[in-house]
Amino acid sequence: MDRVAVIGASMTKFGQRDVWIRELLSQAAEECLDDADVAPDEIEHLYVSNMASGEFEGQGGVPNLLAHDIGAIPAYTERIDQTSSSGGAGVYAAWRSIASGASDMTLLVGGEKMTHKTTAEATDIIASITHPAEYKHGLTLPSFAGMTARRYLHKYDAPRESLAKVAVKNHKNGVDNPNAQFQKEIDVETALDSPIVADPLRLYDFCPITDGSAALLFVPESVAEEYADEYAVISGIGGATDTHVVHERDDPTVMNGVVDSGEEAYEMAGLGPEDIEVAELHDMFTILEFLQMEGLGFAEQGEAWKEMDRGTTERDGELPINTSGGLKSKGHPLGASGVAQAVEIYEQMVGEAGPRQVDADVGLTCNVGGFGNCVITAIMEAAE
């Protein structure tokens, strides 16, 4: 079968942006088309990953608006929402559009505009995706993260510092990403001394609230060389859900959605965890980087934290994780994040990651929705 190729990518500056979702999406879309030297009227399908433009700014119909603004009409459009994994879901939707033969040129744009809301308002919009019974009790995603981190540290006898080291590493990587929200190194002490948000997690264990957008352009591999000397292929992809009520899970330190989507992606690619050379994981909370490392087979259950002292996941380590800076320092504009993860891996595959470049021909992205309620894992390879 003809594989699905990625021939262009872009991301806007992430952070506090004084423009609306409309401008954010257009900017990423136009830069992505420029990157691949493709005209807007060549687009056949246009997917927009966006969780909540209606709730955040009262604007619906953003895919149509985007098609209009960039001159892509009559391209078919659709909005993909899978909460915080909307971006990964968009990658999967774009993959299916090409693999099914429905489109030969698909533009995916993910974006969210959030910072005009207060932290409390944004947290409430995000919490609306939890189970109604959990929402009613005031459970938010940060509170789940706090409880899970406490359980993890206790069960696996892991030091609190190991979580801080995730934040330190990802902040360090973000310094070299000009589009990251934060380009600021921090140290373990700063992370450990920051204000408590959901005990034992503190401010620096959390990603910020962010505005931003990212885009990718997909074609069948058989025509990829017409557009690009260097390109990447998505060789494996899968998605899976876990219980929507978090307390129904047997072990809160295991994210079944990560395990299941990872197995699906590995099987499709004919690869295993040992073949992955760089990965972008969904570090919305520091603890999630450990859960994904374990769920994807990069570490034994309960042992991911040990890799922090070994430096395994540093940019110059054996398996660099979140070379982009991760959600932690790059920021987390909900619908954009999964797309931006794939943008980073694409840039690593085609040698365009600049100072963040690592030596890798196979990369992985893991995008987590809710608190592991839905997960999409994708494997990208540099074209031979």
Q: Is the distance from CB of 114 to CB of 210 less than 8 angstroms? A: yes
- Indicate which single residue of 19, 39, 102, 196 sits in contact with a copy of itself (rule: CB under 8 A): 102
Q: Is 370 in the site for a copy of itself (CB under 8 A)?
A: yes
Q: Which is nearer to a copy of itself, 76 or 156 (CB)?
A: 76
Smallest gap from residue 261 Cβ to a copy of itself (A): 8
Q: How crowded is residue 148: how many other Cβ atoms within 10 Å of its Cβ?
A: 24
Residue 33 makes contact with a copy of itself by CB under 8 A: no
d(CA 10, CA 190): 32
Phi, psi of 218 (to 5 degrees): -120, 140
Tell me if 6 sits within 8 A of 380, measured CB to CB: yes
Q: How far apart are CA 127 and CA 133, in angstroms?
A: 11
**Segment 57 to 86, residues that bind a copy of itself, using CB under 8 A:** 58-61, 63-65, 67-69, 72-83
Amino acid letter for position 48? V
Q: How far is the CB of 97 from a copy of itself (least distance, A)?
A: 6
Position among 8, 11, 70, 92 found at the interface with a copy of itself (CB under 8 A): 92
The residue assigned the tokens 């902040």 is 171
Q: Where are the alpha helices (DSSP H) in 129-233?
A: 132-136, 141-155, 160-174, 188-193, 221-227
Residue 316: CB minimum distance to a copy of itself, A: 35
- Interaction of residue 91 with a copy of itself, rule CB under 8 A: no
CB of 20 to a copy of itself, least distance (A): 9
Decide: helix, strand or coil at residue 24. Answer: helix
Give the Cα separation of 288 and 156 in Å (integer).
15
Site for a copy of itself in 234-293 (CB under 8 A): 238-245, 256-257, 260-261
Which residues of this chain interact with a copy of itself, rule CB under 8 A? 1, 22, 51-52, 54-55, 58-61, 63-65, 67-69, 72-83, 89, 92-93, 95-97, 99-102, 125-126, 128-132, 238-245, 256-257, 260-261, 369-370, 373-374, 376
